[in-house]
Amino acid sequence: MTAQRVSRRSMLGGIGLAAALAAGGAPAVRAAATASSAATKLYLLGTGGGPMLGGERGMAASALVVGDAVYLIDCGYGACERISRAGLSVAAIGSVFITHNHADHLLDYGSFLFFSWLQGRREELRVYGPPPLRKITDDLLSANALPLHYYKEDMHSPPMPPVRIDEISGAGPVMQDARVRVRSVVVHHPPVEPALAYRFDTADRSVVFSGDTSPSDALIGLARGADILVHEACDVARTIEMMKGAPPPADADARINGAGSSAPQGYDPAKFAEHVLKAHTSVADAARVAAAAGVKTLVLHHLSPGSSKIVPDAAWIAQARPHFAGEIVVAHDGAIL
- Taking only the tens place, the pLDDT of each residue in 33-78 is 322 345 999 999 999 998 878 888 999 999 999 999 999 999 999 9
Q: What does the alpha-carbon distance between residue 228 and residue 3 come to, in Å, rounded to a whole number?
A: 12
pLDDT for residue 240 is more than 90 = no
- Where residue 25 falls among pLDDT bands split at 50, 70, 90? very low
CATH of 14-330 given 3.40.50.2020, 3.60.15.10, 1.20.140.10, 3.40.190.10: 3.60.15.10
Q: What is the 3-state secondary structure (H, E, C) of 234-285?
A: ECHHHHHHHHCCCCCCCCCCCCCCCCCCCCCCCCCHHHHHHHHHHHCCEHHH
Identify whether the C-beta of residue 316 lies closer than 8 Å to the C-beta of residue 247. no
pLDDT for residue 3 is more than 50 = no
pLDDT for residue 19 is more than 60 = no
pLDDT for residue 274 is more than 90 = no
Q: What does the alpha-carbon distance between residue 83 and residue 149 come to, in Å, rounded to a whole number?
A: 25
pLDDT at position 266 is 61
Q: What does the alpha-carbon distance between residue 307 and residue 288 come to, in Å, rounded to a whole number?
A: 23
If one compares 270 and 4, the residue with the highest pLDDT of the two is 270
If one compares 308 and 262, the residue with the highest pLDDT of the two is 308
User: In sequence order, which residues have a C-beta less than 8 Å from that of residue 234 and are 6 or more positions away?
Assistant: 49, 276, 280, 281, 282, 283, 303, 304
Q: What percent of the chain has pLDDT over 90?
A: 61
pLDDT for residue 293 is more than 90 = yes
Domain ranges of the chain: 14-330
Q: Which of 82-86, 177-181, 218-222, 239-243 has the lowest mean pLDDT?
A: 239-243
Euclidean distance between the first and the last CA atom of the chain, given in angstroms as a whole number: 10
Average pLDDT, the chain: 83
pLDDT at position 294 is 98
Mean pLDDT of 239-249: 66
pLDDT for residue 250 is more than 70 = no
Q: Which of 81-85, 171-175, 213-217 has the lowest mean pLDDT?
A: 213-217
- Where residue 329 falls among pLDDT bands split at 50, 70, 90? very high
pLDDT for residue 28 is more than 80 = no
Cross-strand pairs, 297: 228, 327
Mean pLDDT of 291-312: 94
Cross-strand pairs, 93: 70
Q: Which of 63-77, 145-159, 210-224, 277-291 has the lowest mean pLDDT?
A: 145-159
pLDDT at position 273 is 62
Cross-strand pairs, 206: 201
pLDDT at position 71 is 98
Phi, psi of 30 (to 5 degrees): -65, -40
CB atoms within 10 A of CB 287: 25
pLDDT for residue 17 is more than 90 = no
Residue 176 CA from chain centroid, whole number:
19
pLDDT for residue 199 is more than 80 = yes
